[in-house]
Structures are given as structure tokens and as C-alpha cells.
């Protein structure tokens, strides 16, 4: 996708004053003594050094701050660098946290706790092809997020990223008891709202379960028997008001937009109170995303709230019926997955046609390499086979590294 981080930072170079007493004395000496050959040579050498240094500074500023790019290795669509185009490289400093020490790492995603023996899948870092993701200090992140509200909205993949986000931040907290779920709930896929408070930093990190983003409803009267529920493509989920008052808002959707999750379960589409029985899933997804984008434009104060939308995360189901799950020992050398790339294209199209600033996290390619990082047989309960979700720590940590780095290098300038 060409839509990568879209906002930019411009470099401003301020000339410094040179009208100091030492300069004045120096000028007087030139008048009274006159220039000698050695002095001229010295001045020539100094001017040459300054010229070379000036060229280096200019080239650096042009490359890293020019052409609408982001600082510290993040660039926009000017083809300088796409942080989503890269590969996974071994890195012994990973993982970023210990899942057994994070009470918010859901048991179903904690592969080590569920019996996985190999740990090689934990030792990989995402490396963009033409730049680097800046290292971040978790204490700096916590200070930047002090007093703020971060909201994740989406399906179980969003919940995975939410858990990763919390676990990374907890490595910078001195007293783990100051971090707690606001309602005392244990993490569960059936709860529509989960909120974790970092008391010391007055920081809230929340998750809202909204797998379609648009509103679910009962079928119209006298509708076909096969219609058990409808998706109202022109109306946002009825809990959308709870997302608005946030500083960072991260959406995802896609995994539930399948025939099995929709038509086989009796879900059909509705627009303006009328059933659309013949509408395709791709057309419905596009209409739902249009509704979402219009909602962001009209309801979200983007001077305060930075909005992200994460693209579809690929799975690695195999076999004739796509129900076999073979977890590899290492990342694939060539991206290969059931990536539903048309969803990423729809997201790019919808966001590109809107004036509202939204940062697209195009993580589809990143996940396509990681057939080694799925839960597989290390689920809870163990009878569940899973080649869609990711182990924690793992791939979702890289998504959050991109979010952290973007906010620190560019995003906060608009919402502080």
C-alpha cells in the first residue's frame, strides 16, 4: 500500500548571530595588520571545512526532513522509505516483555504458558527495507502518554494488540499493582469493554469489542427465514460515543467479514432499513468503511485524537479445506498467506478519498512471513487449533512499535 504515515515534519534551520565582541576584535586586527599568506591559507581551509559541513547538513536535512517525510527513519509516500516494506531479522534482544510477568497477556495467546518449547519465534525484529524503526524508551513513552486515553476498537486481533500495548508499557512501571482493570474483570473475548488504568501516569488503555464497526440489529418484519440478524451498513456501532473522547484511537476490522461468520450464521446486510440480500461482502465492507470514515470526519476531533486503522492480518491455514495449521520453525523467506489483500485495498481507497487524517498501519505483508508465530496447538484450551491469532509476545508487538515510534517522532505534535 502506498498510504503510509501521511503527516509530515518540516525542518527549520535558524541562523545564529555572529555579532560577538570576539568577532569585532578579529575584524580590527585585519585592518591594522593586513592579511598574510598563512592567514589566507588558514581562512581558506576553514571555509572549505565549513562548506563540506554545510553540504552534509543540507543533504541530511533534505533526506530526513524534506519531501514531507517523518523524522528518525519514518517516511511518507514519497518513495523514500515505506516502513511496511521489509523483512524480519534475528535479534537476540527480543522479546520486549515476559508474558508470564504480564497479568494482561491472555492465556489463550500465551503460547509459552500453554506448552510451547521452542523460543526462536520470539527473537525476530521487523526491519524496513530502506530505513530503521527508531528504538524507543518505554519510560519516555509512558511520560508522553501521561494523562491520556488510548482506545482500541475491533475484533480479537485488536484485543491482542491491546494486550501487547499494555504488556510493553508495564516493563516501565515500578509497581505492577498500580496497573489494574478498572472494573476488576478478567480478560475475556465475551466482554465488550475492557479498560486498564496506569494509576501513576493517569493513563487509560481501553478495548471495545466491535467486530464489524457498524451496528448489528434484528431483521425487518416479514423478512426471509434465513435472516437472523442484520448489519446496518449505514450506522455505526451503538457504542461509538464511548470512543470519541480519546487521544489515540486504533481500529481494525476484517476477520468477521467472511461467508462463514456472516451468511452461514444468518447475518445479512441492511441499508436505510432495507435488506440487501444480494450484496457481496466486499461491497458491504466498503460501505461500512465509508460509514466509519464519515463518522471520523464528523465526530472525532483530529486536532486532539490521532486515528489509526490497521489492515487485515494474514493467516496461514493450509490443507484442502483450509483447516490445517502447520506452524513453521522460522519465518518464511517469501511472504505467503491468506492475506485478504482486497480488504487492504478498500481501506486505502476509503482513507485516501477522505480529508480526515488517518494513519494506515499496513501490517498485512509483515504478518505474511510469520507462519512461525501463530498459536497453532499451543492454545487454551489445547483442543483449539489456531493459525489466525498470534502468540504473545510476538507479531502484535511490532505493530505497537510502529505506533510508539510514530507518535514520538511525529504524531504528538498535533495532539499535545
Q: List Cα–Cα distances, 239 to 140, 216, 243, 248, in angstroms.
A: 32, 11, 8, 17
The predicted structure's pLDDT at residue 343: 86
The predicted structure's pLDDT at residue 50: 65
The DSSP code sequence of 86-113 is EEEEE-TT--SS-GGG-TTS-GGG-TTT
Average model confidence (pLDDT) across the chain: 83
The predicted structure's pLDDT at residue 221: 84
The predicted structure's pLDDT at residue 54: 54
The predicted structure's pLDDT at residue 24: 36
Q: What is the pLDDT of residues 128-145, one digit of tens each?
A: 998 888 888 999 999 999
The predicted structure's pLDDT at residue 274: 93
List the grid coordinates of 252.
481494525
CATH 3.40.50.1110 in the chain: give the residue spans. 83-414
Task: Please check whether residue 105 is in contact with residue 99, taking contact to mean a CB–CB distance below 8 angstroms.
Answer: yes
CA angle 80–394–163, rounded 5-degree value? 105
Q: What are 90's strand-pairing partners?
A: 124
Of 325, 315, 376, 317, the residue nearest 115 (C-alpha): 376
CA angle 80–307–338, rounded 5-degree value? 70
Instruction: Could you list the beta-strand ranges (E) of 218-373.
Output: 229-236, 248-252, 267-271, 274-276, 306-310, 317-318, 324-325, 358-361
CA angle 75–372–156, rounded 5-degree value? 75
Neighbours of 253 (CB within 10 A): 26
Of 364, 344, 343, the residue nearest 281 (C-alpha): 343
Q: What is the pLDDT of residues 173-206, one digit of tens each?
A: 999 999 999 999 988 888 999 999 999 999 999 9
Instruction: Could you list the beta-strand ranges (E) of 210-301.
Output: 214-217, 229-236, 248-252, 267-271, 274-276
Collapse the DSSP code of 118 into the 3-class scheme (helix H, G, I; strand E, B; otherwise coil) and give the result: coil
CATH code for residues 83-414: 3.40.50.1110
CA distance 204 to 125: 27
The predicted structure's pLDDT at residue 345: 87
Q: What is the pLDDT of residues 372-384, one digit of tens each?
A: 999 999 998 888 8
List the grid coordinates of 179.
496497573
311 burial (CB, 10 Å; 0-12 / 13-18 / 19+) is buried
Task: Please check whether residue 11 is in contact with residue 66, taking contact to mean a CB–CB distance below 8 angstroms.
Answer: yes
10-residue averages of pLDDT along the chain (416 residues) = 37 33 35 52 63 47 30 41 92 95 92 93 95 90 96 96 98 96 89 96 98 94 91 97 96 94 95 94 96 96 94 88 89 85 86 87 94 94 90 97 88 50
Contacts of 363 (CB under 8 A, 6+ apart): 84, 310, 311, 313, 398, 399, 402
The predicted structure's pLDDT at residue 415: 44
Instruction: Could you list the beta-strand ranges (E) of 27-71.
Output: none
pTM to 2 decimal places = 0.80
List the grid coordinates of 246.
480519546
> How large a percentage of the chain has pLDDT more than 90?
63
Amino acid at each position: 500500500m502506498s498510504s503510509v504515515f501521511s503527516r509530515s515534519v518540516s525542518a527549520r534551520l535558524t541562523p545564529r548571530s555572529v555579532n560577538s565582541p570576539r568577532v569585532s576584535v578579529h575584524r580590527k586586527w585585519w585592518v591594522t595588520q593586513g592579511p598574510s599568506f598563512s592567514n589566507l591559507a588558514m581562512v581558506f581551509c576553514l571555509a572549505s571545512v565549513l562548506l563540506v559541513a554545510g553540504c552534509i547538513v543540507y543533504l541530511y536535512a533534505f533526506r530526513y526532513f524534506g519531501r514531507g517525510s517523518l523524522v528518525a527513519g519514518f517516511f511518507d509516500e514519497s518513495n523514500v522509505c515505506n516502513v511496511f516494506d521489509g523483512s524480519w531479522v534475528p535479534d537476540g534482544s527480543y522479546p520486549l516483555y515476559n508474558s508470564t510477568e504480564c497479568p494482561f497477556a491472555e492465556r489463550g495467546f500465551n503460547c509459552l504458558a500453554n506448552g510451547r518449547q521452542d523460543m526462536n519465534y520470539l527473537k525476530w525484529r521487523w526491519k524496513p527495507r530502506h530505513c530503521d524503526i527508531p528504538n524507543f524508551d518505554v519510560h519516555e513513552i509512558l511520560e508522553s502518554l501521561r494523562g491520556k486515553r488510548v482506545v482500541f476498537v475491533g475484533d480479537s486481533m485488536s484485543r491482542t494488540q491491546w494486550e501487547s500495548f499494555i504488556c510493553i508499557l508495564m516493563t516501565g512501571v515500578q509497581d505492577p499493582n498500580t496497573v489494574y482493570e478498572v472494573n476488576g474483570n478478567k480478560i475475556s473475548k465475551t466482554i465488550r469493554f475492557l479498560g486498564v488504568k496506569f494509576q501513576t501516569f493517569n493513563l487509560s488503555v481501553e478495548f471495545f469489542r466491535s467486530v464489524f464497526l457498524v451496528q448489528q440489529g434484528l431483521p425487518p418484519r416479514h423478512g426471509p427465514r434465513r435472516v437472523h440478524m442484520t448489519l446496518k451498513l449505514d450506522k455505526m456501532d451503538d457504542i461509538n460515543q464511548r470512543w470519541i473522547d480519546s487521544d489515540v484511537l486504533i481500529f481494525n476490522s476484517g476477520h468477521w467479514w467472511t461467508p462463514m461468520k456472516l451468511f452461514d450464521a444468518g447475518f445479512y446486510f441492511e441499508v436505510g432499513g432495507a435488506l440487501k440480500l444480494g450484496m457481496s461482502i466486499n461491497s458491504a465492507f466498503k460501505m461500512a468503511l465509508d460509514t466509519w470514515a464519515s463518522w471520523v470526519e464528523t465526530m472525532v476531533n483530529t486536532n486532539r485524537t490521532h486515528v489509526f486503522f490497521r489492515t487485515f492480518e494474514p493467516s496461514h491455514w493450509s490443507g484442502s479445506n483450509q483447516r490445517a495449521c502447520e506452524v513453521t520453525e522460522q519465518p518464511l523467506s517469501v511472504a505467503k498467506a491468506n492475506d485478504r489483500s482486497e480488504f487492504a485495498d478498500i481501506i486505502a481507497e476509503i482513507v485516501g478519498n477522505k480529508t480526515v487524517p488517518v494513519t494506515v498501519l499496513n501490517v498485512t505483508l509483515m504478518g505474511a512471513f510469520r507462519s512461525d508465530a501463530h498459536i497453532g496447538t499451543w492454545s487454551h484450551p489445547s483442543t483449539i487449533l489456531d493459525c489466525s491469532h498470534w502468540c504473545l509476545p510476538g507479531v502484535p508487538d511490532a505493530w505497537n512499535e510502529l505506533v510508539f515510534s510514530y507518535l514520538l517522532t511525529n504524531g504528538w505534535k498535533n495532539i499535545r
